[in-house]
Structure 1
């Protein structure tokens, strides 16, 4: 009998504790009311984008406790600052210092829209605004364009309170990688105590040391004769002569260049598909990329690529002309990189590829010749070959050798014993120039020995 009474007592106690907890966890419900923003200021009332400012506010709600004060600042439909401040109790005085963003398309001497939302714990909202706030742009005497190779180009303001900064007479390629700096050190390094424009999260913005280089290209320009950077749009324009539809080629229209320590001559050209091009000088003896050009005469080649802007690179030592596809991505092309491949040459016969895409000799472009079919004519080193196909320079969607039917000069990674998907030379393979064709649909690869024209 005593045992039963104890069990009943324990059950009643548990029930009491559960009820007590539920009552304790129940939220207090307050009546709806109207929060009051008694005063609110932005100090200073005029500022330069990128500066720090302070918001101060006095708020109250005599009936219902406060929760949050939200602030939003907008210029030209762009948000330049937001703040969320906790406001406990029925009365609160809050203050916070914050930095206003310095982003593109912010007008000078702009009326800054400042909106405040005061919210109590029941979700009631009072909205007001702060007027008379002005935002101003920064103007510079000079800015500095710093290329990824360390070269520094001074950009000078085009006028008083101009957003454009220009450097005329600059002879560069029609595509560049760079940052824009307000200050540089005496050793031509970027001084990050000033404003620096770079690439972050896919957009051009003010960056710190972690920002990447901006990429700007004008594929329809032959070369660059001037550069303009706009601090309003955060955009760069390359000035120069437009590409013309070429019918002849000579080395005097190429620019000196350097690729992996080797002297090259590089030029940008507008070329029509199936256009015959007359060659002069040393170019008559050069081996033009066999997948983009067909030799149709002692001094003539026919272009096989699509009509548009193209970059050609001529090596005086190797006596060949390579092609840069400005859209080196699938389905336009496939790329092969690794070891043991090179572009065919009559004077310097060797493989030049490596594991990377930093420069044109390091990988091979396979041109799309029909649906799902890609082709390249290469020098194949039977002692070194170890490569793989990719859809882009970001190592995207690799093509594994074990998934394909291979020609006699190749074996897959399983046969090799590596099981890494790489493409390897067969034991009986011979070094030489081959046209390799890969069909992504049928999974069949062919290799045909070729004689250079």
Structure 2
């Protein structure tokens, strides 16, 4: 029995030995790399052309890889199929990254044959950042030359509107250089993009738009848009928002909007005197103010903590309007409708009362309204006819059988709002959330 086991072990050992010999036999051939180009220096942003002679006298070749490393990180690679011995040419891109100083990169040439045998050759390349003679700011209205004003620093100084959107173009430098673009991605300047950068100044006139090709820092930016000194955050090109605490009768200052006098002033949230001074009207609390540059309108919404306010059991919080026949700054441009994203926050005026003010024919449809009151900005709690009443002889509350769904408001048959007149809709919850009273007053 011992003899039999010994024979098995010897046989197994021979099998393993032969298997190892087979694996070793896979790595055959002798790939040879002979560079034919000088690889001594290049610039960031270059397409570096190389010429290499490759051969293997024993095994057919497979691929030649040109790999560029910044320190230990491979930043670019070109792969060439090498079916036969001979000379091959290609290009490897030298990335133009921000905040990378002049230095030495490594170009690694990796030649592989069909038996997976590899040969490598490393070459050092001195890299420098290109010194562009100028840059170009490309906007919808035309191109503006940005002159070199310092190391890596460029500026276009002339009369600009307060808001300028455009991308920056850098010319080709040197025989291996490429034209490069810088645009706006993820709220920062990024290479390779043509998305417009949202430059803005506090006012129109003569000022400089600048860009640094080393750090990618650009100016001026949207920091000009601020409410009471708090910078507004960008939502998109046309909307900016800020969340802040406001107290009743507090003066509100808005900076950076050149044509502020042309903006709609919501009478539920602000009063405006002859000098343009804005005063906050609702009860004190935290509010979100969204500047909509398309509508030229400040949307104000009550908040609770970091979220939008909802109606609380004690009657505080917020009431929201969703439906047809109402819209700020006007129904022609921004009717609320049944899109909950457009829900309108009624101004909390104190003592558990909420109001919305508007002009018939502008804010309200004069002959047809169909909106209702909700507990939140979205579907969920809502006021139906059983928990809201009115003594108005102009506006009625639907019960599902009188021409409106339960809780929806309508205009009494045969009547209409007076076009051009101002109306105030007030919801009073002082008797309890389920005993809301609607009053409609013509100013």
**Normalising to structure 2: TM-score of the pair?**
0.52
- Cα distance in 2 between the residues matched to 1:165 and 1:312: 32
Q: 1:204 to 1:369 in 2, by over 3 A?
A: farther
Q: 1:31 to 1:206 in 2, by over 3 A?
A: closer
Q: Which residue pairs with 1:166 in the alignment?
A: 155
Q: Which residue pairs with 1:277 in the alignment?
A: 250
**Does residue 1:31 correspond to 2:31, yes or no?**
no
Q: Which residue pairs with 1:322 in the alignment?
A: 298
Contact 1:380 1:434 in 2 (8 A): no
Displacement of 1:32 in angstroms is 1.7
Displacement of 1:299 in angstroms is 7.5
Q: Which residue pairs with 1:256 in the alignment?
A: none
Among 117, 120, 133, the residue aligned to 1:127: 120
Among 315, 326, 332, the residue aligned to 1:351: 332
- Cα distance in 1 between the residues matched to 2:95 and 2:437: 56
Among 64, 68, 75, the residue aligned to 2:63: 68
Q: Which residue pairs with 1:212 in the alignment?
A: 195
Displacement of 1:47 in angstroms is 3.6
**5+ long unaligned stretches in structure 1:** 1-27, 184-192, 248-259, 261-265, 356-362, 388-397, 417-423, 437-443
**Does residue 1:86 correspond to 2:75, yes or no?**
no
Q: How many residues align?
A: 332
- Cα distance in 2 between the residues matched to 1:59 and 1:321: 68
- Cα distance in 2 between the residues matched to 1:34 and 1:69: 15
Contact 1:163 1:232 in 2 (8 A): yes
Q: 1:301 to 1:81 in 2, by over 3 A?
A: same
**5+ long unaligned stretches in structure 2:** 1-22, 172-177, 230-237, 254-259, 311-319, 349-353, 372-376, 386-396, 418-422, 428-433
Displacement of 1:83 in angstroms is 0.8
Displacement of 1:270 in angstroms is 9.9
Displacement of 1:69 in angstroms is 1.9
- Cα distance in 2 between the residues matched to 1:383 and 1:278: 37
Q: Which residue pairs with 1:178 in the alignment?
A: 166
Q: 1:113 to 1:152 in 2, by over 3 A?
A: same
Q: 1:96 to 1:243 in 2, by over 3 A?
A: same
- Cα distance in 2 between the residues matched to 1:136 and 1:376: 64
Cα deviation code 1:232-263 (max 9, x no counterpart): 2334232799788749xxxxxxxxxxxx9xxx
Moved more, 375-384 or 137-146: 375-384
Q: Give the root-mean-square deviation of aligned CA atoms.
A: 6.0
Contact 1:71 1:115 in 2 (8 A): yes
- Cα distance in 1 between the residues matched to 2:398 and 2:129: 62
Q: 1:57 to 1:150 in 2, by over 3 A?
A: same
**Does residue 1:59 correspond to 2:74, yes or no?**
no
- Cα distance in 2 between the residues matched to 1:269 and 1:128: 57
**Does residue 1:301 correspond to 2:280, yes or no?**
yes
- Cα distance in 2 between the residues matched to 1:216 and 1:229: 11
Displacement of 1:114 in angstroms is 0.9
Displacement of 1:310 in angstroms is 6.9
Q: Which residue pairs with 1:358 in the alignment?
A: none
